[in-house]
Amino acid sequence: MTTYYDHKAERLAAAGQAETAKAEAAVKFADAQTKLIAANGEQARENRKAKKNEKRENAERRAKALGSAAGWLSGHVVELALSVIVVVPAVMAWTAMAAYGKDVYGPVGWGLPLFSEAAMWAFAFASHAARKSETPRPTGWLQVGIWFFAAVAGVLNFIHGLTMPDGGVGDGVVMALVSVGGVVAHQLITAAPMRTRRSAAERRAARTNRVAVRRVTRMERAAVRRAVGELATDGTVRLLYTPGMVTLEGRLRSRLVPTVVPGLPVAGEDAEFDAELRALLDEASEPSGTAQTPDTDTSAGTTVDPAVSVHLDRVRQAIRDGDLPAKPSRRKVQAFLGVRAGTAQDVIRELRRDDTDGNPATPTAA
């Protein structure tokens, strides 16, 4: 049986538990408040730090921009000064032409500077862009456009100054000079740098080089005229040339003539050595002319190559005329004919055969 005291004890215990719960809730609330205050303080510090960094970065950017601007200005003082010379005359001429156009054409005359002033500036800017591009383009016709429209602007401004109520020749000249002065200054500023003057030795070398190039060109053209063609199976033709040392003869229509340069080895040193060796072997193998040698007609059936025959006839005629000795050496024959050593040796062989047989060899039929 529950008594009054038991109920009272239970009520006291429940009240104690409720107080304990309230105390715990108050502690938790205080902890939460402390954490919130700490978090708010950390965020505030982060915000202040971020603002400070942003201000520092902005200050650094402004200082860098000012430094870059100051550096550019210090490096372009001349360009800035010259731009005044370009811009001021252009503005004065533009306003003068606009007023003159209004007087002549009425309200639409305000557009007259688009023809007189803007045209020459458009050509001037196009010429400058062509010179400064990665692959420079020709500016010849652009220069023609600049100076044509500059002349047009100068004439129109001169007429304007001459026909003004209080104007005259002086006013016209001033207005014309102001009109074209800006574009002239622009062209002088943006023009390509002048080439340095070459020395006298460089000019002489350049002239000599031009003469050499012209002579090489003439020789190449003469060689092409003399060349023969090798026809391939596909119908194409390859030009073939006779190698060797040549010179030019004739003025209107030059032709190549074989020649020998004294002091220089002739073309085909190996061929010359082989020819001389063959000549020595031929001399060693020739019969000695003793009684044991059969007396036969060595000229019978002997033929001469047509090309050698032509040279042989020239040498025979030179011997008869006294231009060559009766028994010329191979070098003298080569120098006289201007041919290779092998060809000269063939001619010498035929001459020796003439001396042995007593009659010249007959050429083959072509």
**What pLDDT score does 289 carry?**
42
Measured distance CA(330)–CA(309) in Å, rounded:
16
For 20-52, what is each residue's pLDDT tens digit? 887 778 878 877 878 788 777 778 888 888 888
Measured distance CA(76)–CA(190) in Å, rounded:
14
**What pLDDT score does 158 carry?**
92
Amino acid, res. 259: T
pTM above 0.85, yes or no: no
Report the length, in residues, of the chain: 366
Whole-angstrom distance between the N-terminal and C-terminal Cα of the chain? 163
For 172-194, what is each residue's pLDDT tens digit? 999 999 989 888 888 887 776 66
- Spatial neighbors of 219 by CB under 8 A, at least 6 apart, are 246, 248, 254, 256
Measured distance CA(46)–CA(60) in Å, rounded:
21
* Cβ contact 361:350 at 8 Å: yes
Q: What are the beta bridge partners of residue 230? A: 238
Domain boundaries, given as residue ranges, for the chain: 1-75, 85-190, 208-258, 269-282+302-363
Residues in the chain where the model's pLDDT stays below 70: 1-8, 192-195, 263-304, 307, 355-366
**What pLDDT score does 210 carry?**
93
**What pLDDT score does 266 carry?**
55
In which region does residue 146 sit, left (phi positive, over 0), alpha (psi from -120 to 50) or beta (all else)? alpha
**What pLDDT score does 143 carry?**
87
**What pLDDT score does 290 carry?**
42
